[in-house]
Structures are given as C-alpha cells and as structure tokens.
Copies of this chain bind each other. A is one copy, B any other.
Amino acid sequence: MSSLIFNKFWRAAIVVIGNEILIGRVLDTNSHKVAKMLTLIGYDVTEIRKVRDEVEAIAKAVKELMLDNGVIITTGGLGPTYDDVTAEAISFATGIPLCLKEDALEMIEKRLKDLGLELDNARKKMAILPCTAVPIPNPVGVAPGIAMFMPRTKIFSLPGVPKEMEAMMESYVLPLLEKENLVARAEACEVLENVREADIANEVGSFAKEHPEAYVKSHPDIEGGRSYVKLCIMASAESKEDAERKAKTLLKSLVNRVQQGNL
C-alpha cells in the first residue's frame, strides 16, 4: 500500500488480545473494522497482531509496534476477570506505573448505577490504569477504555466486545484522530467476468507501478466454472470527494487498459 505520507505519525497498528481468538473459538472481526476505519481517515495500518491474555506477550507487541507507529489500537482484556490484563501490560510497555484512577472509577460507578449494578472489587479493578492514562467513556458496557498520549505514539485500549469497541472508536478515537487528519481515502471496484487473474497480472502490475499513490489490487474468484476478477483501487486526496473522484478515474483507466491487453 502506498501513501501520500510515509512518516511514523500516519502509521498505525492494531493489537488484538485474547486466548479465545488464538485457540480459534472466537472469530475476531474487531481488527477488520478498526483497520477499515483507520484507513479511511488516512492512516496506513502496518500490522495487526493477535496475542494471548498475558502481560508479557501484550507488552512485547505494544512496545515493538510503538517504534514504528504513531497510533496503536488494542482491543480486549479490559474487563473484570482474572485474565483481563491489558492495563497492566500497557503500564509495562510504557513504563508508567498503575494507579487507582478516580476519573475512571467515577465512570464505572455511573455506568453501574445506570445498569442497576453494584461496585465490587472485581469491577473496581477496571479503574486501575497507568497513572497518566485518560479513561475513555464506555457508552455501551462498563469498562472504560484507556488513552495514552506518549511522546510519539498514541495508544488507545478498547474493550473486546464488538459493540463497545465500535461505540468508543466512533465517539472518542476517530473524532480525536480526524482533527489531525490531512488525507482522506476512498475506493472503487469493478468485477470483470470470464477473466483469470494470471491473464491480466502484467497489466495490473505495470499500472500499479505507474500509480504508486494509489492502492491497486485484483481479487480472483471462481464460481460455477466461470472465473471472475474484482479490480479495486483505493485513492487518497485532501477531501473525501476528491479521493472518490480519483479512485473512479483511475479504475476506469485500469479497466480500459486490461480489456485492451486481453483483446
């Protein structure tokens, strides 16, 4: 994937936390949604890592990804159970000790009151965050998220429950990141019937090399003995409208070239 801007500031990584994903019990869709959201506001997602509910494994992933990425989103591990260790891992990765955060505790008490539930030690644990963390309100569940504004990387830790994660991306993370946004992206796709990917590989390859500013991709598929190729182009521009126009124009010229090459 090419980008208008290559520096670390615009590079993002996602860390998905949870043994249930690594043993194949639960299909992770969070990283897919977060990747799309970040891409469309101009970030280049460089890597997605899925790790166990272990302080060391999470901290290692976050620490390594901080070297190269301006934004890290983690999902999972913020709940009340014994294997929810994300706050501890973020503390470990950033070197910032844990505190019982009053602002997070207030958020938890308010949400529990809304839901008619009581504060106990398991729930109180969700307010123990790195001391400099900004708690992110959870409009759906109880556990607050964690925002860490480190010198060159912002870390946002969100819950693993998809509805909670999405609500917190929409209400907190995206508005905050969009303020700094210089690039918008849009994509356009077209399906070519009775074409095989290998037959158009050369044309698509040379087109991609001529347009490093766009992300060009062919997706092959076979159905009922007939082969299809879906051609997609993602383009970047200063506004969403310009990006859409650019993606459509580039796609049209790619489709023309491919069809001429296959006459």
What residues of chain A have their CB less than 8 Å away from a CB belonging to chain B?
1, 16, 19-29, 31-40, 45-52, 57, 61, 79-83, 117, 120, 122-123, 142, 161, 187, 196-198, 201-202, 204-205, 208-209, 215, 217-220, 232, 234
Bound complex: CA of A135 vs CA of B51, how far in Å? 30
User: Contact between B217 and A20 (Cβ–Cβ < 8 Å)?
Assistant: yes
* Number of identical protomers: 2
Neighbouring B residues of A39 by C-beta, 8 Å: 22-24
For A16, A28, A47, A50, the residue with the greatest tally of chain B CB atoms inside 10 Å of its CB is: A50
Bound complex: CA of A36 vs CA of B220, how far in Å? 26
CB contact between A57 and one of B40, B47, B79, B196 (< 8 Å): that residue: B47
Can you spell out 11 A-B residue pairs with CB atoms less than 8 angstroms apart?
A1-B19, A16-B48, A22-B35, A23-B36, A23-B215, A24-B38, A25-B36, A25-B187, A47-B50, A82-B208, A122-B201
Bound complex: CA of A57 vs CA of B45, how far in Å? 12
Bound complex: CA of A198 vs CA of B118, how far in Å? 10
Bound complex: CA of A249 vs CA of B31, how far in Å? 35
Given A46-B52, A57-B47, A80 contacting B36 (CB threshold 8 A): no
Neighbouring B residues of A32 by C-beta, 8 Å: 21, 24, 27-28
Question: Shortest CB–CB separation between residue A77 and chain B, in angstroms?
Answer: 12
Chain B residue at smallest Cβ distance from A45? B22
User: Contact between A22 and B46 (Cβ–Cβ < 8 Å)?
Assistant: yes
User: Contact between B45 and A51 (Cβ–Cβ < 8 Å)?
Assistant: no
Neighbouring B residues of A23 by C-beta, 8 Å: 1, 35-36, 39, 45, 215, 234
Question: Shortest CB–CB separation between residue A21 and chain B, in angstroms?
Answer: 7
Question: Shortest CB–CB separation between residue A218 and chain B, in angstroms?
Answer: 6
For A26, A82, A161, the residue with the greatest tally of chain B CB atoms inside 10 Å of its CB is: A82
User: Contact between A21 and B47 (Cβ–Cβ < 8 Å)?
Assistant: no
Question: Shortest CB–CB separation between residue A50 and chain B, in angstroms?
Answer: 4
Neighbouring B residues of A61 by C-beta, 8 Å: 47
User: Contact between A57 and B49 (Cβ–Cβ < 8 Å)?
Assistant: no
Question: Shortest CB–CB separation between residue A86 and chain B, in angstroms?
Answer: 15
Question: Shortest CB–CB separation between residue A129 and chain B, in angstroms?
Answer: 17
